[in-house]
């Protein structure tokens, strides 16, 4: 099993870490669904973004599993860790316990649990679990990306054996498709799509919430995803890892450089996901 060595000299078995993260994602999804079934209350953060009991419960469920790895964890629900501390992390977990809280509140099912393993600022492994659909996306840089319908804990070995490798070649021959946000559509994004229409003629627009937008490119259901609006590192890290494992890139919108993680400011630049 592959392993790496950290600056502090501790050997890390990445496959064991990945299996633990898969357990954590599914556990987080179960907590989310317990709240989803109720008449839950919605609070708001300082930036007016919504917050529910599902966010908090998923965070604690995920942390309980990832704590066993003894690696640092940066979560949206615990993002107050100062950079002076984070800058010394060579590798860590980047977590969004409930990505797409707006979609959760709307009850449209398009929300996810996102967990990524970041090494030296690069997303190495990513897990995205879709609780309502019971779908799991897993990617490991250099080892492939897979989709699996499941609501039970499974291992990387089982996913390779029973899952579907992505992108699916049957999806890539369709009309040029661009994936867009269901809740965030900026004028710049609309302008980019208009440019694609001029280049490709009629295009199809696929709308999804949360990190499912990155999954649509990784799966081969869309050729490009432009994001010219604010996102945070935990919004993209898991999907970025899955896209990289599937052969796609997540680059700055105006430069051929991929997004980096664990920056002093955790806000992402505008980006484009494409081959």
Asked if the structure places residue 171 within a domain, the reply is no
User: Are both 36 and 144 inside the same structural domain?
Assistant: yes
**Domain boundary, last residue among 139, 166, 193:** 166
User: Are both 139 and 194 inside the same structural domain?
Assistant: no
User: Are both 47 and 146 inside the same structural domain?
Assistant: yes
Q: Which domain holds residue 183?
A: 177-274
User: Are both 188 and 263 inside the same structural domain?
Assistant: yes
Cα of 152 vs its chain's centroid, Å: 19
User: Are both 119 and 198 inside the same structural domain?
Assistant: no
User: Are both 46 and 16 inside the same structural domain?
Assistant: yes
User: Are both 195 and 88 inside the same structural domain?
Assistant: no
User: Are both 133 and 195 inside the same structural domain?
Assistant: no
**Domain boundary, last residue among 132, 166, 200:** 166
DSSP H stretches of helix in the chain: 14-36, 53-66, 83-86, 101-106, 156-162, 187-200, 212-219, 233-245
What total number of domains does the chain contain? 2
Nearest to 164 by CA among 201, 136, 125: 136
User: Are both 93 and 22 inside the same structural domain?
Assistant: yes
pTM: 0.92
Q: What is the CATH number of the domain that holds 192?
A: 3.40.190.80
* Per-residue pLDDT of the chain in tens (275 residues, 90 and over written 9): 354 444 433 468 999 999 999 999 999 999 999 999 998 888 877 665 777 889 999 999 999 999 999 999 999 877 789 999 999 999 999 999 999 988 998 999 999 999 999 999 999 999 999 999 999 999 999 999 999 999 889 999 999 999 999 998 765 556 899 997 655 667 888 889 889 989 998 888 888 889 999 999 999 999 999 999 899 999 999 999 999 999 999 999 999 999 999 999 999 999 999 98
């Amino acid at each position: 099993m592959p392993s790496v060595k950290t600056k502090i000299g501790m050997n890390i078995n990445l496959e064991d870490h990945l299996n633990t993260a898969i357990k954590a994602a599914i556990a987080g999804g179960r907590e989310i669904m317990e709240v989803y079934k109720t008449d839950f209350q919605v609070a708001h953060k300082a930036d007016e973004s919504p917050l529910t009991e599902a966010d908090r419960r998923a965070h604690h469920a995920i942390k309980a599993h990832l704590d066993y790895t003894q690696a640092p964890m940066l979560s949206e629900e615990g993002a107050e860790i100062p950079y002076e501390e984070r800058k010394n992390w060579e590798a860590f977990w980047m977590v969004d316990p409930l990505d797409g809280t707006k979609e959760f509140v709307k009850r449209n099912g398009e929300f996810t649990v996102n967990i990524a393993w970041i090494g030296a600022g690069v997303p190495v492994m990513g897990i995205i679990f879709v609780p309502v659909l019971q779908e799991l996306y897993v990617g490991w840089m250099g080892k492939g990306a897979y989709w699996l319908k499941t609501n039970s804990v499974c291992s990387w070995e089982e996913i390779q054996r029973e899952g579907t490798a992505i992108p699916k070649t049957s999806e890539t021959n369709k009309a040029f498709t661009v994936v867009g946000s269901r809740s965030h559509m900026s004028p710049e994004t609309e302008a980019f799509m208009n440019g694609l229409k001029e280049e490709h003629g009629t295009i199809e627009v696929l709308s999804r919430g949360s990190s499912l937008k990155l999954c649509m490119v990784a799966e081969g259901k869309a050729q490009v995803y432009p994001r010219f609006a604010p996102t945070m590192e935990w919004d993209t890290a898991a999907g970025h890892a899955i896209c990289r494992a599937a052969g796609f890139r997540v680059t700055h919108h105006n430069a051929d450089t991929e997004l980096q993680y664990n920056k002093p400011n955790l806000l992402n630049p505008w980006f484009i996901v494409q081959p």
